[in-house]
Amino acid sequence: MRLVNRCRCLAVVGTLAGGLLAMPLAQAQGAVPLAERLPLCAGCHGQDGNSVVPENPKLSGLDAEYLVRQLEDFKSGKRKSPIMSGIIPMVDDKEFKALGEYFSGQKPAPGKAVDAKLAAQGKEIFDEGIVGTAVPACSGCHNDDGSGSEKYPRVAGQNVAYVVQQLLNFKSGERANDSKALMQAVAKRMNEKEIRAVAEYVATLTGGEQ
């Protein structure tokens, strides 16, 4: 089941395609400077990486190497996405580092839960895990405040719908680019209700910023 709001995504892609057709061909090929590339990303992720579309991830404040690795994985097909797989062929590999560093350097905007009651249940899962089904505490890898590290991505303040979708994708194996399948092992032990609850809580974390 995909939770992506197709109408909204299609509208964005439609606008994008229009923009690209208007672009001189030379600019659509080879590496282009960051300032010329950013408008393509900003349409979906926000100019400052704080995507307001819930299905699109915030990129602000994520580790630069993590971001570059995701772009490489979209390019090679190791990470699949109906949206990013269509975007990434337009971007030269040489641009990945600058894009990763730019979004990593942007200040993350605070996130918010859609359902505060569920978020309270999610806090327990995040901090303690789920004993009965051997789900480890998320905080063990992503830190108590969700700030993450170079190895384990920042999750603090991330959009609820995006986090739900990623956890479902790890659970089904649709996303399998995580090192040693660590995240798949976690998500496979969770049911959809637990996934929703923990995603709500993740959105309320600040990563120690605010």
> Which residues make up the interface to ligand HEC (CB under 6 A)?
12-13, 16, 37, 40-41, 43-45, 55-57, 59, 62, 66-67, 69-71, 81, 83-84, 87, 91, 99, 125, 135-136, 138, 140-142, 152-153, 155, 163, 166, 177-179, 182-183, 186, 198, 202
The nearer residue to ligand HEC, 24 or 138, going by C-beta atoms, is 138
Least distance CB 87 / ligand HEC (angstroms): 5
Contacts of 44 (CB under 8 A, 6+ apart): 12, 51, 53, 56, 83
The nearer residue to ligand HEC, 118 or 182, going by C-beta atoms, is 182
Q: Are 146 and 156 in contact (CB under 8 A)?
A: yes
CB atoms within 10 A of CB 182: 14
The nearer residue to ligand HEC, 113 or 183, going by C-beta atoms, is 183
Least distance CB 62 / ligand HEC (angstroms): 6
Scanning the structure block, which residue is given the tokens 């605070």? 110
Residue 16, judged by CB atoms within 10 A of its CB (0-12, 13-18, 19+), counts as: middle
Q: Are 102 and 38 in contact (CB under 8 A)?
A: yes
The nearer residue to ligand HEC, 24 or 196, going by C-beta atoms, is 196
Least distance CB 105 / ligand HEC (angstroms): 13
Least distance CB 104 / ligand HEC (angstroms): 10
Least distance CB 99 / ligand HEC (angstroms): 4
Compute the C-alpha angle 205/2/62, nearest 5°: 35
Q: For residues 166 and 173, what is the distance between their CA atoms, to the nearest angstrom?
A: 10
Contacts of 178 (CB under 8 A, 6+ apart): 170, 184
Q: For residues 198 and 191, what is the distance between their CA atoms, to the nearest angstrom?
A: 11
The nearer residue to ligand HEC, 15 or 24, going by C-beta atoms, is 15
Least distance CB 178 / ligand HEC (angstroms): 4
The nearer residue to ligand HEC, 84 or 119, going by C-beta atoms, is 84
